[in-house]
Amino acid sequence: MQIAPKPGRRSGRYWAVMDKRLVEKFFAEGKAFLGVEYPFICGAMTWVSGPQLVAAVANAGGFACLAGGNASPDALEDQIRQTRRLTDKPFGVNLIAMAPAYQEQLARVRNLQCPFVVYAGLPRRRDLACVQEGGAKTLCFAPTRMVARRMLKNGADALIVEGMEGGGHVGEVSLTVLLQQILFSDPGVPVFAGGGIAAGRMCAHLFLMGAAGVQMGTRFAVAAESRAHPEFKQRYIKARAREAVVSRSIDRRLPVIAVRALRNRSTEDFNRLQVQLLQALETGELSRDEVHQRLEGFWENRLHDAVIDGDFHHGSMMAGQSVGLVNREQPAEEIIRELVTDTAEELERVRQKLGTLSAEAGISQSGPGA
């Protein structure tokens, strides 16, 4: 069997120089569920995942999600229509159950007959049924085992197990633990893994563990088709893994939603603000509601400032720990190609190693006593 050349020297179609049977065996579940060639998901990233990036990933054989987030229903519908003009391949729409316009977004997605809806937060059973009745498949994030069970009870068609290593809004549990809690429990639906992943070689082992596919965000944030400002991308490329830190609450009276982003001046200012607000709360200078408003208002528009305006000093530079593995801007098609070929190389490497170990131990390929 010939293996594809190393990154930077690849050419032609993905399967031009390799036997695809092994890797397709592990891709089969994710391919069948998503209706794509390669079960690699470009996760939804607000201001980053526009129609150009989503369509580019889809046209390369992968799967990508538009970010609904806080978009107005009209804006979301416009992005869906734009994406459809750019690709005839499947793609998803990510909705956040806590978003102000969530219910209207949900209605638009159903009316537009979007084939995949990816839910963040805690969608209710009727929210999933709303689009399922129209023929859509639903994927729900599972940052904990408890949430996974709840989403399955609500009728989720698939789960995305996302560890705290990921970027943006994150949970408190690492991917390695979640895999053992959720994936290994055989939940009965396809399970996609995400959080801190950027390399095809790592993806191969997730497939070996039983994952139907792999979700990535940070690596695609620097794709050529990403809307992100050039300064934003360069900051990603230069960043180290340890610079992607989670925002923390200094006191339980100051609830802070955990967000992983690159440390910058704003993260330091936010920590100082918490100290000031806690003092104001204790002295009675501010009420608890006023304190919460100040906390929430601090980050308003800062993600836009970072992604669109390139203000990496004061904007919210949401990034996963895999940012330490991102070293260059690439077209989405090239990213997909590398993920596929690197996954295939690693699967073959594992097969050859197991074959060698079996031979050394005198174990027949046909099993004991063959």
Residue ranges of domains in the chain: 21-227+327-347, 240-318
- pLDDT for 300: 86
- pLDDT for 3: 36
- pLDDT for 2: 38
- pLDDT for 66: 97
Tell me how far CA of residue 352 lies from CA of 247, 283, 340, 346, 358, in angstroms. 44, 68, 18, 10, 10
**Strand ranges (E), 149-217:** 158-162, 168-169, 191-194, 213-216
* Residues shown for the chain: 370
Bridge partners of residue 64, in order along the sequence: 42
Residues 183, 193: Cα–Cα separation, whole Å: 9
Residue 118 and residue 86 in contact, taking contact as beta carbons nearer than 8 Å: no
Which residue, chain included where needed, has tokens 């100082």? 272
Residue 314: name the closest of 218, 196, 259, 232 by CA: 232
Residue 319: name the closest of 251, 214, 211, 238 by CA: 238
Helices and strands in the chain, H and E counts: 14, 11
- The top-level CATH class assigned to 21-227+327-347 is alpha beta
Tell me how far CA of residue 268 lies from CA of 35, 79, 247, 358, in angstroms. 44, 35, 10, 54
Residue 187: name the closest of 153, 216, 218, 217 by CA: 153
pTM of the full predicted structure?
A: 0.90
Tell me how far CA of residue 274 lies from CA of 248, 271, 294, in angstroms. 10, 5, 9
What stretches in the chain show pLDDT beneath 50?
A: 1-13, 16-17, 368-370
